[in-house]
Amino acid sequence: MTHTDGVRGPGRHTAGRELPWDQDNHPRSPELSEPLAPDASTTARPTGTAALDDRYGRTPDRRKRSRLFGVVAAAAIVVVFAAWVIWAGLDQSSHGLDNTEVGYTVVSEHQTVVHSQVSVDPGTEAKCAVQVLDKGYAIVGWKVITLPPSDQRTRTVTTEVNTATRGVTGLIHDCWVP
**Where does the chain have alpha helices with state H?**
40-43, 49-56, 60-85
Say how many CA atoms lie within 13 Å of 126 toward its Cβ: 28
Going residue by residue through the chain, which has 178 residues, state the pLDDT in tens, using 9 for 90 and above: 555 555 555 555 555 555 555 555 555 555 555 555 555 555 555 567 777 877 887 777 888 888 999 999 999 999 999 888 887 766 555 567 888 889 999 999 999 999 999 999 888 899 999 999 999 999 999 999 999 998 999 999 999 999 999 999 999 999 998 8
pLDDT for the residue numbered 44: 55
Say how many CA atoms lie within 13 Å of 119 toward its Cβ: 6
Report helix, strand or coil for 22.
helix
pLDDT for the residue numbered 135: 92
Q: List the beta bridge partners of residue 101.
A: 116
DSSP 8-class letter at 37: P
pLDDT for the residue numbered 49: 75
Largest CA distance in the chain: 121
- Separation CA 105–CA 82 (nearest Å): 47
Does residue 12 contact residue 6 with C-beta atoms inside 8 Å? yes
